[in-house]
Copies of this chain bind each other. A is one copy, B any other.
């Protein structure tokens, strides 16, 4: 049984989405057990709508973290009180194996960092995102935990990202690339070039370093793990999301232009459904906080029930794949040399 602590209050909508998503996930993954944290008056009425959730534990909390609270403020006001804090703390206490929240990213990062602390071998946390590509899913990190990263931190991201890829996709030796503005070794920022040297020279069975990759290589699935610092990663991710939405909007408009194209659309509706599923960001909704002494998943704040259930599934698979053990063993192995 894998035990997931759910911050029911997180997200733009809150309990209506997180509990609906929990019900979906529980139906699909009977090996999952859920513990809910949230405000009693908000959670209980929604909880009653889902008979499948009746057997889950619910723990009432005093407060909930607002979506626009600043990290320091959220830490001050929520410590020991908020649903987000309690969900994280249950991982620390060993009551849960993983915490999932669709709440405010900065607050989740700050609280997780403060409550769980870092793995002994990791210097800085990172958030890893799952990126759908033509070849399958890739992992991109850091997508916004912190801004800037030096060469050693980039190398840690490479190791942690590869560990996550192995845990999720059961690949023995994931390929890793450093995001840069060109493939040639002369290009890019100093820290990226230094990280490239370290990665090229290291002998480590857990990943295969493939060199620099560019922005357009991500969607191609050129490597399994794309490493960058948080500012660039965040902008790349959001730019891609914006581009997918833009392409879908333009396609929709073009399709409703004439009667003929509307008819064509009806006939191809199965194909369009498959298209949407493949580029649907909800399918891989789940940023992973890496480097912490515990597994914490960040779901998109604006996700729906389907998306939230994906985040729960990712948490489930991450624990099942032994993510934390893999990452800490790998970092230890690497830093001991």
Contact = CB atoms under 8 A, between A and B. Distances in A.
A173 to B, nearest CB: 24
Chain A binding surface SS class: helix
Interface string A207-249: 0000000111111100000001011101111111111111111
A79 interface: no
A264 interface: yes
Contacts of A228: 235
Interface string A74-103: 000000000000000000000000000000
A271 B255 contact: yes
A186 interface: yes
A329 interface: no
A176 B298 CA distance: 31
A126 interface: no
Interface residues of A, number: 60
Nearest to A140: B239
Contact of A271 (B188, B242, B248, B258): B258
A216 B239 contact: yes
Contact of A265 (B218, B243, B264): B264
A149 B43 CA distance: 48
A272 B247 CA distance: 12
Leading 5 A-B pairs by shortest Cβ distance? A215-B238, A264-B268, A264-B267, A216-B242, A219-B242
